[in-house]
Structure 1
């Protein structure tokens, strides 16, 4: 992960004083086990090019007692992608420029605009190219997005899903860096550090003079603050009409849960397996379904399971609530405890698994576990056009996304023994030609089977 700062024109050498880094020396610091380096490849009165990059320690990224057994930490791109982690690691090195406080002799250059080009990457994000352009375009940048060519020894894809972003604009150095330090975490799919009210203060400080006027201001705040409790502090400053409009729109995730709960209720299920249960949001809802006696929440991530336990603990004393049992497990490992249940649920799970591994998973579920019903939900790739996401997947961790026809054909192929009847439904607001954002298949075991 790296950021290259380039500038051309008169007096660009002054930028080195704003960065407070000597062009003749390699800047190198160890920041909590991660190596941060900055060097100049060009530095003259009319041309400057400086690159800052990080060589992280992947073990330091996950070192904490709470996550020490969380295998999902070792299956990610965090140590390679430009992200909130990258920003936190380079902030100290660029602090003088970010705060606009060079030595007094060079203070006049803080407010001087230069013809900058900022190149950074690789970026791994669920945002589309259009959304990325919409973040940087309104604040005066010409945006170029590229994907590196790749060559596999097997037939997979010709271009990487990772992208590199180049921004050109007439800016002060402080402006440019503050734009990056606000918007790179927005591009990131999650933040690795604790988010509280101080994050709002940082956004207001770095966003002064431009963020309030940005057309994607609300989106930037939502992506930056993430947690409902923190974002609500900003939301409460809005006029009542705007808040009412936001509250009236039901989130797609809630619609998925409602649809699944209705399906489980209609089949009078008494025992349910929530595979890939995450933080337990769906399992909690299932716990209030009349007639259910057993819920197994299966999840490979220890940190997610701990959050689920906290969520269950808050409602465990409520009348009629069935407390889910959390199990550490994976779709790839057989578990005799999951056999012969009334329903197994995979809510937005299959698209996170390599496609060639799914047939084995489905055979295990349908022919070894043999539930009375299997409920699958997955994104409808056709609906991405409605989201202006034609060229990217909805989440950086998705291995694929299928059209409705592809999903139906795949489900039919997985039912190769013919033991189940299949029913397909859409979830979310339906588009006239692109269907619903989420598609669902319910496998129902035939009575004579």
Structure 2
């Protein structure tokens, strides 16, 4: 099976730096089921192409299968696995381009951080859903998609098309994002994996989809297929994706057409999302509603969302005309680009546009644009800051900007035991997660150092043993000194 990645960025041979594979050498990487090779069919200043070719040994593939993998006897040896792109190729891609998938490149850091012109081709790709599904999955990610069905036999067109497509993707995309998208979507299109799906697959999905999956319109289908329609794992993944800030309300129940493939549930899950009469509400919605309710009680009219991400809270604030001035700031330019698209900034009415300001800024550096608001919101932000840098954020928000009120939400680490299959923290980018006592101690220190008061509220079901899934604190500073 074959995958090629081409670019025309100048000089194009810098693709070798980004992939951490030298264009002048053929490199081999042993896999449990065969051998992966990386080579460059072309490498010039104008255009460079890297090829990943995977040779699968059917015998080794059978011998390396997990104990729980179904045994189809001869079908284990005679099948399309050695020839068509699938989870085998996705696994090889993850291994061979491990560093490239992280976006790290010491030699070309600026090139690795931004989008570059890319063309990706897969000559034979199993696609349960046909070319139309390939368009649905890749086009929302910014790709120009060409997907052509492969006929069963070109000599007998009346036989129709096979389940394979020839896929070409073109677009300006960050290379690390492109690799992670392929890692997830190849087995999703095939709707099969060559190994047993266990709970660690949720972590793999969240890591690979961190920058794009939560905002994808087909995130439900992607998540269910990637996790083999195992509903317990899928529910956990939806809860983790909700932490990224997107609305997953429609995915919290299995769709009707797939219920037969989903294990039966014994009853409503205790996932902290306000379940009533079997209707589960995502935690991120409850959190946003709680913040809006507090802002209403405080009578705030001007609000800045610090660490606004893709603009979910900003959009809710703009929808309420009582908020006369709304701002969103984030360190990620990519997140702000997504926010502008979701808010339809280019088509926003002038009166509403005049109330809004979106800008890039780091919360650990003093910025005059953070000042002058009735209230500032840090919704699921502090836990993404390295502990040594947290003091800088405190000085910027509570000392320099000093709005009338600061609303902070953060996960309650004690509640994590209620998330089935969750290992470690709720998000791979979290630097820490506080217990209720730790959050209270931090808040009391803030009050002592910056002369303010604080009140706490639960968000989500307040479990009598471990508390709520999200903790919320309202600081009252009294404005600029």
| Unmatched 5+ stretches in structure 2 | 1-18, 20-27, 42-47, 66-87, 104-110, 118-140, 143-173, 260-264, 269-274
Shift in Å, 1:35: 6.7
Distance 1:363-1:202 versus aligned 2 partners, 3 A rule: closer
> Structure 2: how far apart are the matches of 1:249 and 1:90?
29
Helix, strand or coil at the partner of 2:438: helix
Give the superposition deviation at 1:289.
3.5
Give 3-state SS (helix, strand or coil) of 1:357's partner: helix
RMSD: 5.3
> Paired residue for 1:63?
115
Runs of at least 5 residues in structure 1 that lack an aligned partner in the other structure:
7-15, 68-72, 100-115, 119-132, 138-164, 166-179
CA contact (8 A) 2:238 2:252 kept: no
2:459 to 411, 427, 437: 427
Q: CA deviation at 1:389?
A: 6.2
1:27 corresponds to 2:32: no
Change (3 A) 1:262 1:48: closer
User: Which residue of structure 2 lines up, in the alignment, with residue 235 of structure 1?
Assistant: 255
Q: Which residue in the other structure is 2:23 paired with?
A: none
**Could you give the per-residue CA deviations for residues 255-311 of structure 1, whole angstroms, max 9, x where no partner exists?**
111111111111111211101111111011112345321111111222221222233
In structure 2, the CA distance between the partners of 1:408 and 1:33, relative to structure 1 (3 Å rule), is: farther
Cα 1:301–1:246, aligned 2, differ >3 Å: closer, same or farther? farther
Matches within 5 A, 1:347-386: 347-386=379-418
One of 288, 291, 297 as aligned partner of 2:319 = 288
After superposition, residues 39-438 of structure 1 pair within 5 angstroms as 52=92, 53-55=95-97, 57=100, 58=103, 59=111, 62-64=114-116, 84-86=181-183, 135-136=197-198, 185=205, 188-190=208-210, 211=228, 214=230, 216=232, 218-219=234-235, 235-237=255-257, 248-313=279-344, 316-317=348-349, 323-388=355-420, 391-438=423-470
**Residue pair 1:312, 1:323 contacting (<8 A) in 2 also:** no
**Scaled by the length of structure 1, what TM-score is found?**
0.58
Which SS does the other structure have where 2:449 is aligned?
A: coil
- Change in 2 beyond 3 A, CA 1:48/1:369: closer
Rate the CA distance shift 1:368–1:197 in 2: closer, same or farther, 3 A.
Answer: closer
1:190-219: CA deviation from partner (whole Å, max 9, x where unpaired): 375896779969987x99xxx46x454754
CA distance in structure 1 between the partners assigned to 2:411 and 2:223 by the alignment: 35
Number of aligned residue pairs: give it: 338
TM-score (norm 2): 0.55
After TM superposition, give the deviation of residue 339 of structure 1 in Å. 1.6
Q: Which has the higher contact order (CA 8 A, sep 6+)?
A: 1
In 1, distance between residues paired with 2:204 and 2:423? 20
